[in-house]
């Protein structure tokens, strides 16, 4: 063991602890759901992205089990080396038809879809223009690109600010290609990108748009087809990223777009080229999850009914939900220490709602991020609200 490295790690961790930025995952003893046992304690879980309950849906589980019997548990290799299994192709055809695009290419995660695609479609002659609140995986993908992208060079626009975006586009005329990239639904605030205006500006200034629909998939648009569907922008968004890990309940990410886009990413998307394909049971489970999403409107209806009810109850009791427009419901706290104290006190009350602090959000913008989903009952949400009120009152009394 190298003493310099080990000492550095210990010092850095201590510094995270001192700043209330240190994270430890709890142990989940039950499947992901609205009510779970974690670290041996039964709690209402408000911190899962399993929006529609598909992570534990009987039809999805059954499809995975049957697929194991048919295909085994591993893909064996990268797809272009070991051969691609029929079930992987079928999933891509199903996703393309769901998204109304020519083609879809699946990556093993949403994170790798971003980090593989962004550098593959840009060169040093290009510029990438980003919303300042884009997800970490977009930021990492952008950093891997040879294009211009830096905030200090003026290529990051103020959050959802279309004047700021247009200003970037006006200065970007000399680049060969201009790429605009945005979250479809912002993952920590729950607001929706103004995609119609972004697309209009892109068309005016000859730019192309990539939208990361990780939190819009299964949540917005027809049957959960995402923000392009929500805003009826079919054919006008060049690259749509979706995740298969959140509402779809399994794991993976995909790029939906043209056939030539797919061809290019098969040849130049590094996580596709150099990383093994999903186990076939993942693809089979995802096909079953899509079947549920396309044929049963009930989970999505319950998701939105629960979200609306939860947000109305919070607002009526004086909590600030930061203008969310989707089920992602931040409860604003501000101070990192207060947010972490609230998280602990809520835990004691049987509610698991995670404090989100820097660097996931800006310093001094800590919040409890709550995610009502289709699996919560009205009673769960009522109980959670009472806990939030008690904890806030205790915290106020203590200062
Ligand atoms: C979660 C998330 C991702 C990463 O997706 P995974 O499938 O979990 O890797 C990418 N982008 C956004 C906006 C996300 O919220």
88 lines ligand 1 (CB under 6 A): no
Name the average pLDDT for the chain: 96
Ligand 1: centre distance to CA 306 (Å): 23
- Of all protein residues, the one whose alpha carbon is nearest to atom 12 of ligand 1 is 214
The radius of gyration computed from the CA coordinates of the chain, to the nearest angstrom, equals: 22
pLDDT band at 361 (very low <50, low <70, confident <90, very high): confident
Q: Report how far residue 29's alpha carbon sits from residue 314's, in angstroms, rounded to the nearest whole number.
A: 29
Smallest Cα–Cα separation from 339: which of 293, 370, 306?
370
DSSP H/E element including 257: strand 253-257
The predicted structure's pLDDT at residue 26: 92
Whether the per-residue pLDDT at 236 is higher than 80: the answer is yes
Instruction: Return the ligand 1 atom nearest residue 114 CA.
Output: 10
pLDDT band at 20 (very low <50, low <70, confident <90, very high): confident
The predicted structure's pLDDT at residue 399: 67
pLDDT tens sequence across 91-145: 999 999 999 999 999 999 999 999 999 999 999 999 999 999 999 999 999 999 9
For 140, phi then psi, to 5°, come to -65, -40
109 lines ligand 1 (CB under 6 A): yes
**10 Å Cβ neighbour count for 270?**
15
pLDDT tens sequence across 196-207: 999 999 999 999
The predicted structure's pLDDT at residue 360: 85
Q: Where are the domains of the chain?
A: 22-51+297-398, 58-295
Q: Report how far residue 52's alpha carbon sits from residue 185's, in angstroms, rounded to the nearest whole number.
A: 17
226 lines ligand 1 (CB under 6 A): no
Ligand 1: centre distance to CA 396 (Å): 35
Instruction: Return the CATH fold of 58-295.
Output: 3.40.640
Whether the per-residue pLDDT at 65 is higher than 90: the answer is yes
Query: Same topology for domains 22-51+297-398 and 58-295, yes or no?
Result: no
254 lines ligand 1 (CB under 6 A): no
pLDDT band at 63 (very low <50, low <70, confident <90, very high): very high
Instruction: State yes or no: cis peptide before 210, omega within 30 of 0.
Output: no
The predicted structure's pLDDT at residue 23: 84
* Residues with catalytic roles: 187, 215, 246
Instruction: Return the ligand 1 atom nearest residue 186 CA.
Output: 13
The DSSP 8-state label assigned to residue 107 in this structure reads: E
Ligand 1: centre distance to CA 110 (Å): 5
Residue from 184, 189, 246 whose mutation best tests the ligand 1 pocket (most atoms within 8 A of CB): 246
Q: Any idea which residue has 């695609």 for tokens?
A: 117
Instruction: Return the ligand 1 atom nearest residue 134 CA.
Output: 13
Residue from 253, 254, 326 whose mutation best tests the ligand 1 pocket (most atoms within 8 A of CB): 253
Query: CATH assignment of 22-51+297-398, given 3.40.1710.10, 3.90.1150.10, 3.40.50.12140, 3.40.50.10490?
Result: 3.90.1150.10
The predicted structure's pLDDT at residue 358: 85
pLDDT tens sequence across 317-360: 999 999 999 999 999 999 999 999 999 999 999 999 999 988 88
Ligand 1: centre distance to CA 219 (Å): 14
Helices (H), 153-279: 162-170, 195-204, 227-230, 259-268, 270-273
Ligand 1: centre distance to CA 2 (Å): 34
Whether the per-residue pLDDT at 162 is higher than 90: the answer is yes
Smallest Cα–Cα separation from 303: which of 340, 267, 280, 329?
329
pLDDT band at 397 (very low <50, low <70, confident <90, very high): confident
Smallest Cα–Cα separation from 326: which of 224, 216, 249?
216
């Amino acid at each position: 063991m190298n003493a310099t490295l080990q000492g550095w790690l210990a010092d850095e961790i201590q510094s995270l602890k001192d700043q209330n930025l240190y994270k430890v995952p709890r142990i989940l003893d039950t499947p992901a759901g609205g009510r779970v046992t974690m670290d041996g304690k039964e709690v209402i879980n408000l911190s899962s992205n399993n929006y529609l309950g598909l992570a534990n849906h009987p039809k999805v589980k059954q499809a995975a089990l049957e697929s194991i019997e048919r295909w085994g548990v591993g893909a064996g290799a990268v797809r272009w080396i070991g051969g691609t299994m029929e079930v992987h192709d079928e999933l891509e055809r199903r996703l393309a038809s769901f998204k109304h695009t020519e083609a879809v290419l699946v990556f093993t995660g949403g994170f790798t879809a971003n980090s593989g695609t962004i550098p593959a479609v840009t060169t040093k002659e290009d510029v990438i223009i980003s919303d300042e609140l884009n997800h970490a995986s977009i930021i990492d993908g952008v950093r891997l690109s040879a294009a211009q992208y830096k905030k200090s060079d003026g290529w990051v626009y103020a959050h959802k600010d279309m004047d700021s975006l247009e200003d970037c586009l006006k200065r970007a005329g000399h680049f060969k290609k201009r790429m605009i990239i945005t979250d479809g639904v912002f993952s920590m605030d729950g607001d929706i990108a103004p995609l119609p205006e972004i697309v209009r500006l892109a068309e005016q200034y000859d730019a192309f748009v990539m939208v990361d629909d990780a939190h819009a998939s299964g949540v917005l648009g027809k049957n959960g087809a995402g923000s392009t569907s929500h805003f009826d922008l079919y054919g006008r968004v060049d690259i749509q990223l979706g995740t298969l890990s959140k509402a779809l309940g399994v794991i993976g990410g995909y790029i939906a777009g043209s056939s030539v886009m797919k061809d290019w990413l098969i040849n130049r998307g590094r996580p596709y080229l150099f990383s093994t394909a999903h186990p076939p049971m993942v693809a089979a489970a995802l096909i079953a999850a899509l079947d549920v999403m396309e044929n049963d409107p009930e989970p999505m209806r319950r998701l939105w009914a629960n979200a609306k009810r939860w947000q109305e109850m919070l607002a009526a009791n004086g909590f600030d939900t930061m203008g969310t427009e989707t089920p992602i419901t931040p409860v604003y706290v501000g101070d990192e220490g207060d947010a972490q104290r609230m998280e602990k006190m809520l835990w004691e009350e049987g509610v698991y709602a995670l404090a989100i602090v820097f660097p996931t959000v800006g310093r001094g913008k800590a919040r409890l991020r709550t995610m009502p989903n289709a699996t919560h009952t009205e009673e769960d949400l009522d109980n959670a609200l009472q806990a939030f009120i008690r904890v806030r009152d205790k915290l106020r009394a203590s200062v």
